């Protein structure tokens, strides 16, 4: 079951409307949109963690004698 990109709630598929509806906040998304969100979030998280790791390494490297 996909998760809502807005509130991380569970999304239920509505066969009649052919969209996923968040059971928590009511957000409606098509499967394509969910895929788009998932890919974007994945990339963002990936980039962020890499930058944070680099930043931490940089801070440590510069502060230690």
- The DSSP 8-state label assigned to residue 3 in this structure reads B
Q: How many residues bind Zn ion (CB under 5 A)?
A: 8
Instruction: Indicate the residue among 19 and 27 with the shorter CB distance to Zn ion.
Output: 27
Q: How far apart are CA 4 and CA 8, in angstroms?
A: 4
Among positions 1-60, residues that touch Zn ion (CB under 5 A) are 4, 6-7, 9, 22, 24-25, 27
Q: How far apart are CA 16 and CA 51, in angstroms?
A: 43
Q: How open is the CA angle 45-48-52, to the nearest 5 degrees?
A: 140
Instruction: Indicate the residue among 36 and 49 with the shorter CB distance to Zn ion.
Output: 36
Residues near Zn ion (CB under 5 A): 4, 6-7, 9, 22, 24-25, 27
């Amino acid at each position: 079951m996909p998760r809502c990109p807005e509130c991380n709630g569970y999304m239920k598929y509505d066969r009649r409307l052919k969209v996923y509806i968040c059971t928590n906040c009511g957000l409606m998304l098509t499967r394509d949109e969910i895929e788009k969100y998932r890919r974007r979030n994945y990339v963002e998280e990936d980039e962020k963690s890499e930058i944070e790791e680099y930043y931490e390494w940089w801070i440590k490297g510069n502060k230690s004698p």
